[in-house]
Amino acid sequence: MVQPIERDGSMTVRVRYPPSPTGAQHIGNVRTAILNWLFAKKMGGRFILRLEDTDRDPSRYRPDVIPDILSNLRFLGIEPDEDWEKGGPVGPYIQSERLPLYQKAAEELIESGKAYRCYCTPERIAALRAGQQQRGEPTGYDRRCRYLTSPEMDKLSAQPFVVRLAVPLEGQTLYHDEVHGDISVENNALDDQVLLKSNGWPTYHLANVVDDHSMSITHVIRGEDWLPSTPKHVLLYQAFGWETPKWVHAPLILGTDHKKLSKRHGDTEFAEYIRRGYLPEALMNFLALLGWSPGEDQELYSVGDLIDRFSLEGITPHPAIFDANKLLWMNGEYIRKSSPTRIVDLSIPYLQEASLIKTEEDIELAERVVPLVTDRMKTLEEVAPLTDFFFGDMPKYDSKAVEKWLKSSDDGVTLAKILPRLEGIAADQFTVNLIEAAVRSGIEELGVPSPQVIHPLRVALTGRTVGPGLFETMAAMGKEKVLYRLKAIIAKEH
RNA sequence: GGCGCCAUCGUUCAGCGGAUAGGACAACGGGUUUUCAUCCCGUAAACCGGGGUUCGAUUCCCCGUGGCGCUACCA
């Protein structure tokens, strides 16, 4: 076992993030990982990843999601100090590889009378609960096997059994939570929790306590849904005679309707946000602020800022609401802060996905075009609909736009007037400045307000009424394509 | 039902006994502009209710109400 005590006498912080492979990681899981990681970084401690795969019910066990756990964290720039791939001093880091430890621990507890074998069948337990519910009584095991005599036990010894914790019948269990303060519960309200299942595998309660202790975890930072079962864990530590870690229960994440975050709230799967083109720094920033606050009026924080400011005191006691709209805004902020070349690089896969990029030339076009639309991008995914008109010979024409700016005969005349001026510019001189000068002089000659020329031109070239500045658009498009499209539209007018 | 946690603008995060209760998102209004977006300026908007404690409560305590969580041989 590693020693959490440093030579200078201070405690080395060791925190853990223990995902369970029962489904794709969601926002809440990752938020908990971030909180743990920030705390480790802040304290110069260690961030440990541990796989809690003790639930082998085929309907829940999903080994296929295991690789994503690591890759999702890495996407955010989180690299565990110890995990099941790189190992570490207190491995293995996969609970299914630690089974003997839990069995030994359970045995120890039975020896000392802190736990007992229970031979009750699942059927009896179910019937018991049903009756309790019907009568409006609190549900829970009736402790029948806790008081078995030796002869009775001998008779049952060949039967399958679970191991249950012998919760004290009286008194109360008190513990201190770093965000909620002192919490106490009456022991008589606690059930004799199953520690070891009849298949010999541990439940969360046992495995988590045994591992946190043997891995020298100093702070248990987890979601508030664990608050009610913490007394059972405290009792377990006491039964083993071990010192408890510090308890830190972070608030739950709810949807904007204040209900627990679920599929109903749209996407809650973390990887979905990666796919949709959210930047790691935006996700890190936003998720860190979900249930934690630096206590000041600022929203945008770099990872370094977050680490600098992180403290357990900043974890809020009330639920955190997941506001997808605010995430969207924040992502837009980070896109605009990024260098154009980075956004171009990140955008190319989305453009390929949308079948807009097919050739080397298309990539060059993308390099010119993407920087023109970063101001209106909130996610990388939006790059395709924002730039699609640049690609291919002709854009798709929006009927309303055409109706408004290309229908009157004046518009055709206008375009015809501008065309030769553009043709007069050399292909390698087709720059924003020269294009603007050419178009402006055409406008002057026509003697009409500039919008009456600019709008038809834009619709003719892009098929729509909104987009980047017209001259930038034309320069990026290139002389050849501009003339091709203009001529095509003029020909159609006649 | 039992046990536990929580409670500030429409939403969210601050505020940890004495302030004109602050920031952000969204909304609305205005400016810039060839459109949209960006950017800039501005407006509106909150302490769940009732008791205490205190010279003084948004802040501390109790009750109520409401929300959420747990109540599995799931984590």
Q: Known catalytic residue: A263?
A: yes
Domain(s) of CATH 1.10.8: residues in chain A: 339-386
Q: In 3D, which of A394, A398, A413 has the Cα closest to residue A452? A: A413
Residues of A (349-378) placing their beta carbon closer than 7 angstroms to any atom of strand B are 375-376
Classify burial at A398, counting beta carbons within 10 Å of its beta carbon; exposed 0-12, middle 13-18, buried 19 or more: middle
Q: Which of residues 389-448 of A touch strand B (CB under 7 A)?
A: none
pLDDT tens digits, chain A, 494 residues: what are they?
A: 566 666 565 679 999 999 999 999 999 999 999 999 999 999 999 999 999 999 999 999 999 999 999 999 999 999 999 999 999 999 899 999 999 999 999 999 999 999 999 999 999 999 999 888 888 888 899 999 999 999 999 999 899 999 999 999 999 999 999 999 999 999 999 999 999 999 999 999 999 999 999 999 999 999 999 999 999 999 999 999 999 999 999 999 988 777 777 766 667 899 999 999 999 999 999 999 999 999 898 999 999 999 999 999 999 999 999 999 999 999 999 999 999 999 999 999 999 999 999 999 999 999 999 999 999 999 999 999 999 999 999 999 998 888 888 777 666 778 888 999 999 999 899 999 999 999 999 998 888 888 889 999 999 999 999 999 999 999 999 999 999 999 998 887 65
Distance CA A370, CA A348 (A): 9
CA of A124 to C1' of B59 (A): 52
The third-level CATH classification (topology) of the domain covering A263-337 is Glutamyl-tRNA Synthetase; domain 2 (1.10.1160)
Query: With left for phi above 0 and alpha for psi between -120 and 50, is residue A468 left, alpha or beta?
Result: beta
What's the confidence (pLDDT) of residue A403? 84
**Range(s) within chain A of domains with CATH label 1.10.1160.10:** 263-337
- What nucleotide is nearest A203 when CA is compared to C1'? B73
Closest nucleotide to A179 by C1' from CA: B5
From the CA of A298 to the C1' of B12: give the distance in Å: 13
Domain spanning A393-494 has what CATH number?
Answer: 1.10.10.350
Closest residue, by C-alpha, to the C1' of B25:
A326
Domain with CATH 1.10.10.350 in chain A: 393-494
Are A99 and A199 in contact, with CB atoms under 8 Å apart? no
User: Closest nucleotide (CA of A118 to C1')?
Assistant: B73
Residues of chain A (203-232) having a beta carbon less than 7 angstroms from strand B? 203-204, 208, 224-229
ipTM of the modeled complex:
0.94
**What ranges in A215-294 are assigned the alpha helix state H?**
230-240, 270-275, 280-288
* Predicted pLDDT of residue A238: 97
Kindly determine whether the C-beta of residue A144 is less than 7 Å away from any atom of nucleic acid strand B.
no
Q: Does residue A325 lie within 7 Å of nucleic acid chain B, judged by its CB?
A: yes
Which nucleotide lies at the shortest CA–C1' distance from A315? B13
Check if residue A201 sits with its Cβ under 7 angstroms from strand B: yes
Q: Residue A493's pLDDT is what?
A: 63
The CATH class, in words, for A339-386 is: mainly alpha
Question: Given this model, what pLDDT does residue A201 score?
Answer: 97
User: Nearest to residue A54, comparing CAs of A211, A279, A190?
Assistant: A211
Nucleotide showing the shortest C1' distance to residue A256 CA:
B11
Q: Which of A263, A396, A400, A479 is labelled catalytic?
A: A263
Q: Find out whether A209 and A240 touch, Cβ atoms under 8 Å.
A: yes
Q: Is the CB of A449 under 7 A from strand B?
A: no
Give the amino acid at A316. Answer: T
